[in-house]
Amino acid sequence: MGTRVVRVEDPRLLTTGGTYTDDLREPELTGAAYVTFVRSPYAHARITGVDVSAARGVPGVVEVLTGQDTDDLPAPADGNPTAEPMLAKDAVRYVGEPVALVVTDGRYQGEDAADLVTVEYEPLPPVVDLEDALRGETLLFPESGSNVLAAAQDEGAGDDAFAACEVVVEHTIVNQRVAPVPLETRAAAAAWAHDRLTVWVSTQNAHWARDAVAGGLGIDPSAVRVITPDVGGGFGAKIGADREGVAVAWAAKRTGRPVRWVETRSENLVGMTHGRGQRQTFKIGGTRDGRITAYRLDLVQDAGAYPRMATLLATLTKSMASGVYDIPHVEAYFQVAATNTTPVAAYRGAGRPEATAAIERAVDMFAAEIGMDPREVRRRNFIAPDKFPHTTPGGMEYDTGEYAAALDRVLAAAGYDELRAEQARRREAGDPVQLGIGLSAYVEITGGVPEIGETARLVVHDDGTVTVLTGSSPHGQGHATAWAMLVHDELGIPMDKITVRHGDTDAIPVGIGTFGSRSLQLGGTAVHQAALEVKERAKELAADELEADKADLEFDTADGLWRVRGTPDIGLDWGRLAQLAGSDGLAADVHFTSDKSTFPFGAHVAVVEVDAETGKVRLVRHVTVDDAGPVLNPVLAEGQRQGGIAQGAAQALLEEVLYDAQGNPVTSTLVDYPFITATELPSFELVDMATPTPLNPLGVKGIGEAGTIGATPAVQNAVVDAVSHLGVRHIDMPTTPERVWTAINEARTGQ
């Protein structure tokens, strides 16, 4: 625990490259045909006809399948008017929705053939804007009677709390839609043989992907084996299997031929789920001396065209609305609205970044209104350390937290007072390049449904090597290294003798996967406990073999030997113990569950330079405390934080998915979508802090999403702070030069 260990995964990834789904050269995929999807060019339309004859005539075309061919699939559950089809049959609801697929011998033939599938559409009015969705003049699902898919509505119960406030600030802000963009797009391959499907899919959860395929095709889950090869990033957007993945499996079953699919980036930017997408109205009230007494968040969550995870996102934002603050009166409401856009689902943080962004903007606007340093307002309102475990008005039970300490530590590292002095100097001098200092303090919920836990099986082999089978599912996090460290810590077996396997539903019958920053606290704990169980069993075996009492046995993790106390010359190693275990094997199976979530927290300071003449923003420093409890491997934990910070900063500064009024995506290539690059970021300054949780034996919380959650509001607050002396109170994200310039001009001209 706590040792810096470089990754065991890396030599392979750096020399031959990983084996991602499109790299598979498995014998079962020999001669695999290629799947190419035909996608809707309309945001909203009725399908009036499909003609596949021209496509069928193209050389190399194996099969063309449309929504009309899906009669072998189970019908959607009764009475579900918003069910999402595998291939659109009657209507399309977003640009990029899969309508048909072609199966071809060659990779390039697929696009030729897909171009020749003629789909006749009768365009319908598109619902693009959230206001249009709420007005409900056009419905995506007429049978449901509304575009609001779920809601928790304001009934005005909290009005008195605001009436009693000396100061109330109310504002509507946008937490814009962004694209996850893992560098590996979605991909799948499938083979049907002996009445069984094998599906390789780029996913964060092999078992959920298996269930999605089995459910979608109406076959028993035992007839599906899902294998997760290397996965080139997920960020929440590769949870389970999307409709395309299911369709690829279906194509293999229908054609009897192995097939493979990898989407292009242009498909990915319209076909993979997007993240965020909330319009938030907050109302914050309190006293002139900085005490916040009431907070209301009312949000509209853009679900996109089908209800995937949007309600979960809105629920998480609602639950975490009050963040790190001890506010007597808190209320939060949401409406989840369907629009003719790509469906919205999890993206690194999934609902918590949105909650944090809202309250951290609200606190800054409250501070500006009463003329107090945002540092001071935060300090006056943190939940005090002696109040933990702390149940919030939103019903969350925070396990442990040291919010003021985290802020103080990050401010000291950043040199807050010096930064303020430099800011004052530039303002005084009328420097065209102004300095902005942005703070954020956050708490988030991690564990991703901890009640369903995670599995581990640990097997010690006769040669002293170990195999760990984990239900968790790495896609860059470094599980192979981390899990080997956990085993090594307990069993003293060298890391190079420990093999970690994941992502094969035949080899690992039960598993949940990786999302919600759950891996170490659940999957890691399962590995840790499996090691302890194996150790206990080994002790029994060693006692028998050495004819000693268990109490007289000693285990030395340095050499991995069991000895009787006082007889250093005779030791049993792990291989010998595995042999002694005989047919039972020396192994342990653990399914670790927890009935409570963990709540990592932290504080970020962003420093930006804003050219007040052009509106151009440059992030010059980013300093963070991200406290997720004790750290197993600082190399990995820091990597998670750094990547998260970049994604969070990207949302504040640059990235946004945009549609035109007709629902056409205008950011559907990486030329148009401003994915953040190395030139737009500084090196990050990470400050350590570790407050353990009592909820698992390792004391750990999740670190995967922390950086993103803290970074976005810190950067956005910094941009506003840089020009606050000009009268600017808020700038929506992304804080592009145009937005910043406009905000400055409007403040100057008093608009």
Partner 1 sequence: MKVTITVNGEQIQDDVEDRTLLVHFLRDGANLTATNIGCDTTSCGACTVLLDGESVKSCTVLAAQADGAEVTTVEGLAGPDGELHPMQRAFQAEHGLQCGFCTPGMVMAAVSLLKENPHPTEQQVRVGLEGNLCRCTGYHNIVRAVLAAAAEEEGA
Closest among 690, 649, 666, 634 to 482, alpha carbons compared: 634
CA distance 119 to 40: 9
Site string for partner 1, 391-430 (x = CB under 8 A): ----------------------------------------
Scan residues 233-252 and list those touching partner 1 (CB under 8 A).
233, 235
What tokens appear for 669 in the block?
A: 């290539």
Closest among 712, 706, 710 to 641, alpha carbons compared: 706
In contact, 592 and 530? CB cutoff 8 Å = no
User: Among 98, 258, 438, 644, which residue sits at the site for partner 1 (rule: CB under 8 A)?
Assistant: 644
In contact, 349 and 705? CB cutoff 8 Å = yes
Question: Three-state DSSP class for 443?
Answer: strand
Closest among 257, 664, 607, 254 to 426, alpha carbons compared: 607
User: Among 56, 89, 196, 265, which residue sits at the site for partner 1 (rule: CB under 8 A)?
Assistant: 265
Scan residues 701-730 and list those touching partner 1 (CB under 8 A).
707
| Residue 23 or 129 having the CB closest to partner 1 | 23
Which DSSP category does 398 fall into? E
| Residue 446 or 477 having the CB closest to partner 1 | 477
Scan residues 206-235 and list those touching partner 1 (CB under 8 A).
230-233, 235
User: Among 2, 17, 142, 145, which residue sits at the site for partner 1 (rule: CB under 8 A)?
Assistant: 17
Which DSSP category does 712 fall into? H
In contact, 179 and 274? CB cutoff 8 Å = yes
In whole angstroms, the minimum distance from the beta carbon of 105 to partner 1 comes to: 12
**What DSSP assignment string belongs to 78-89?**
TT-TTPPPSS-S
**C-alpha 130: how far from chain center:** 24
In contact, 525 and 579? CB cutoff 8 Å = no
Scan residues 646-685 and list those touching partner 1 (CB under 8 A).
646-647, 669-671, 675, 677-679, 681, 683-684
Dihedral of the alpha carbons of 85, 91, 93, 98, in degrees to the nearest 10: 50
Scan residues 38-57 and list those touching partner 1 (CB under 8 A).
none
Q: Is 645 in the site for partner 1 (CB under 8 A)?
A: yes
- Hunting for tokens 């003021």 — which residue is that? 404
Closest among 489, 500, 498 to 461, alpha carbons compared: 498
| Span of 283-291, 440-448, 469-477, 484-492 interacting with partner 1 by CB under 8 A | 469-477
| Residue 4 or 550 having the CB closest to partner 1 | 4
Scan residues 471-500 and list those touching partner 1 (CB under 8 A).
475-478
What tokens appear for 706 in the block?
A: 């922390």
| Residue 25 or 194 having the CB closest to partner 1 | 25
CA distance 29 to 259: 7
Q: Is 636 in the site for partner 1 (CB under 8 A)?
A: yes
What tokens appear for 472 in the block?
A: 């968790």
Site string for partner 1, 169-208 (x = CB under 8 A): -----------xxxxxx-----------------------
| Span of 4-12, 119-127, 448-456, 539-547 interacting with partner 1 by CB under 8 A | 4-12
Sheet architecture: strand order including 617-627: 433-443, 601-611, 617-627, 685-687
Scan residues 101-120 and list those touching partner 1 (CB under 8 A).
107-108
In whole angstroms, the minimum distance from the beta carbon of 366 to partner 1 comes to: 31
Closest among 139, 177, 203 to 303, alpha carbons compared: 177
In whole angstroms, the minimum distance from the beta carbon of 616 to partner 1 comes to: 16
Closest among 391, 385, 390, 330 to 355, alpha carbons compared: 330
Scan residues 534-593 and list those touching partner 1 (CB under 8 A).
none
In whole angstroms, the minimum distance from the beta carbon of 243 to partner 1 comes to: 21
In whole angstroms, the minimum distance from the beta carbon of 213 to partner 1 comes to: 23
CA distance 204 to 475: 7
Number of residues that bind partner 1 (CB under 8 A): 58
In whole angstroms, the minimum distance from the beta carbon of 747 to partner 1 comes to: 32
| Residue 683 or 749 having the CB closest to partner 1 | 683
In whole angstroms, the minimum distance from the beta carbon of 106 to partner 1 comes to: 8
In whole angstroms, the minimum distance from the beta carbon of 681 to partner 1 comes to: 6
CA distance 729 to 719: 10
Count of other CB atoms within 10 angstroms of residue 59: 10
User: Among 286, 353, 629, 643, which residue sits at the site for partner 1 (rule: CB under 8 A)?
Assistant: 643
Buried b (16+ CB within 10 A) or exposed e, 462-496: eebbbbbbbbbbbbbbbbbbbbbbbbbebbbbeee
| Residue 38 or 459 having the CB closest to partner 1 | 38
| Residue 14 or 551 having the CB closest to partner 1 | 14
**What DSSP assignment string belongs to 102-124?**
EEESSHHHHHHHHHT-EEEEEE-
Q: Is 60 in the site for partner 1 (CB under 8 A)?
A: no
Q: Is 751 in the site for partner 1 (CB under 8 A)?
A: no
| Residue 301 or 472 having the CB closest to partner 1 | 472
In contact, 247 and 212? CB cutoff 8 Å = no
Q: Is 336 in the site for partner 1 (CB under 8 A)?
A: no
Amino acid at 563: R
In whole angstroms, the minimum distance from the beta carbon of 260 to partner 1 comes to: 11
| Residue 13 or 661 having the CB closest to partner 1 | 13
| Residue 10 or 496 having the CB closest to partner 1 | 10
CA distance 96 to 698: 44
Radius of gyration over alpha carbons of the chain, in Å?
A: 27
| Residue 219 or 413 having the CB closest to partner 1 | 413
| Residue 18 or 136 having the CB closest to partner 1 | 18
In contact, 728 and 744? CB cutoff 8 Å = yes
In whole angstroms, the minimum distance from the beta carbon of 3 to partner 1 comes to: 14
Contacts to partner 1 by CB under 8 A: 6-7, 9-11, 13-20, 22-23, 25, 107-108, 180-185, 230-233, 235, 262, 264-266, 475-478, 635-636, 638-639, 642-647, 669-671, 675, 677-679, 681, 683-684, 707
